[in-house]
Amino acid sequence: MAYFMGIDTGTNSSKGILMDDQGEILAMQTTQHEMQNPKPGHYEHDADTDWWGDFCRISRGLLRETGVDPGQIKAVGISALGADCLPVDEACNPLRKAILYGIDARATEEMEQLTQMYGQEQILAWYGRPLCSSDVMPKILWIKNKEPEVYAKTYKFLTGSSYITAKLTGSYVVDRFLGLASFNPLYDPETWKPVPELCAPVCRPDQLAEIREAADIAGYVTESAAAQTGLAPGTPVITGTDDSGAEAISCGVVEPGKMMLQLGSSVYMILGTDRLIDDPRLWREEFIVPGLCDISAGTNTAGSLTKWYRDTIFPDALEQERSGGGNAYQAMLSGVAEIPPGSDGLITLPYLAGERTPVNDPEARGVLFGLTLRHTRAHLYRSALEAVGYSVAQQVRIMESHPEARVDRIIAVGGGAQNPIWLQIIADILGKPVSTPKETVGACYGDALMAALGVKWPGFETYASLTKYIRAGRTYIPDPSAHSRYAPYLAIYDELYSATAQFAHRLSRLCGEEG
């Protein structure tokens, strides 16, 4: 029997599985870590502790739980939250905390600097949109501008998956999906090589990783990595990718019309398309699957919003869980289903960490609009769940405004996919069915599938062949009456940001000045 390991590192936790050569999951391990928020708009991880430490703990845990001989593991796949910015020295030691993906909004000045340098027209030609907090180039420049001593010592600028692969194999690689999109325009899209003249204002070309396909073998587990992870020396390791891309693979986004709705700490949506579609409000990339493009979108808070509610508004539910009671998130749903669509006139803007698409505004702020004395905390919580649904619907509508894009099937994954009330709310707001796969473990399942693809194990020869291992779960059918009741609330949601943005910006600057 052959086995494949997949490990994914996310915003608040890491998860790994061991899969056999029939696509069956033998074991799963999860470990938690904390996202650090040292300043407003700054979000970081300790890469050595949170990323590599989690990988080692999960790898050893899977081997211990299953008793599988490490020599029977034919390949390892990894993914990580992305794209992040982590400078490392020649020994692959982090030189600072990792600057996280689009949730981190520290590089606004650098975005303006780069836009002035290259011109708005050139930026739009490269990205199909303005620069945003998800782009790595401004974050590298932030380090160069604000931490020159770190920049001077930097051997490579890595993202999460690149760092873990480097720790395992000694190879510094990034997959094409992340490299050409998130590090754009530092690499030539035709040759995949760094472009010296475009790198010059930001970093040296040799400070960038080598681009490969996500399922390409990046290298083999070193003796040192084997001692830390329990894996056998010489085990193949694929290049890997970001968590959202791997999760899209895990639910079958391998052709146009399939859309992943990832309900993790944030929301990430990936819709397969047959060509690049430019829209300044969203993102577009050449996807992991060769020949497939995508149009994508991201909402900064989803699971992080429900976690904030748990910690701040429902501390009693959290305390009961810690004392051996039921799950806090389940307790928070008490009474939510009985509240009508629209939360009795309460609308939330879920911009508690700024926002990515479609507003592209790191200074956006959360709003509770319509609050009255009759509202309870159950109303507040339902309104938060609805806010994510409104954001999803808003962005799906933008996608569908392009004739070249079609949404044939929406597959929900991530921790939020375990919440049936939330998925029904989203389906009702969208007016479209929302499905879940049978295996909802997420990106780590996609990692394991791509690991098998990487070594061309029989039955895993192409991306299309992976879909036979992806089994259908539950489908949430929209309620036409609820969909109609949501329509006027969605219309207000659409206008609420523009009506409050100037005040959010003033508050943001006040907090910045006071900080």
- Over residues 23-35, the mean pLDDT reads 95
**What pLDDT sits at residue 72?**
98
Q: Would you say residue 417 has pLDDT above 80?
A: yes
Averaged pLDDT of the chain: 95
- Over residues 144-150, the mean pLDDT reads 98
More confident residue, 356 or 171: 171
Tell me how far apart the alpha carbons of residues 500 and 74 are, in angstroms, rounded to a whole number. Answer: 54
Q: Would you say residue 514 has pLDDT above 70?
A: no
Whether the upstream peptide bond of residue 40 has omega within 30° of 0, thus cis, is no
**CA dihedral sign, ordered 175, 176, 179, 182:** negative
pLDDT band at 513 (very low <50, low <70, confident <90, very high): low
- Over residues 208-220, the mean pLDDT reads 98
**What pLDDT sits at residue 440?**
73
Which amino acid is it at 210?
E
Tell me how far apart the alpha carbons of residues 226 and 163 are, in angstroms, rounded to a whole number. Answer: 16
Domain ranges of the chain: 3-245, 310-390+480-514
Is residue 51 classed as helix, strand or coil in its secondary structure? helix
- Over residues 207-230, the mean pLDDT reads 98
**CA dihedral sign, ordered 126, 179, 302, 109:** negative
Q: Would you say residue 414 has pLDDT above 90?
A: no
- pLDDT, tens digit, 9 for 90 and up, residues 358-411: 998 989 999 999 999 999 999 999 999 999 999 999 999 999 999 999 999 999
- pLDDT, tens digit, 9 for 90 and up, residues 427-478: 999 999 999 998 778 899 999 999 999 999 999 999 999 999 998 899 999 9
> What b/e string do you get for 229-261 counting C-beta neighbours within 10 Å, with b at 16 or more?
bbbeeebbbbbbbbbbbbbbbbbbbbbbebbbb
175 phi-psi bin (left φ>0, alpha ψ -120 to 50, beta other): beta
Tell me how far apart the alpha carbons of residues 226 and 124 are, in angstroms, rounded to a whole number. Answer: 45
- pLDDT, tens digit, 9 for 90 and up, residues 306-365: 999 999 999 999 999 999 999 999 999 999 999 999 999 999 999 999 998 999 898 999
Neighbours of 308 (CB within 10 A): 16
pTM of the model: 0.86
- pLDDT, tens digit, 9 for 90 and up, residues 298-323: 999 999 999 999 999 999 999 999 99
Q: Would you say residue 515 has pLDDT above 50?
A: no
Tell me how far apart the alpha carbons of residues 341 and 429 are, in angstroms, rounded to a whole number. Answer: 9
- pLDDT, tens digit, 9 for 90 and up, residues 45-104: 999 999 999 999 999 999 999 999 999 999 999 999 988 999 999 999 999 999 999 889
Tell me how far apart the alpha carbons of residues 415 and 398 are, in angstroms, rounded to a whole number. Answer: 25
- Over residues 229-243, the mean pLDDT reads 97
Return the CATH fold of 3-245.
Answer: Nucleotidyltransferase; domain 5 (3.30.420)
**What pLDDT sits at residue 509?**
86
With a pLDDT cut of 90, the percent of the chain lying above it is 91
Spatial CB neighbours of 424, under 8 Å, sequence gap ≥ 6:
476, 479
Q: Are 179 and 244 in contact (CB under 8 A)?
A: no
**What pLDDT sits at residue 128?**
85
Tell me how far apart the alpha carbons of residues 160 and 44 are, in angstroms, rounded to a whole number. Answer: 12
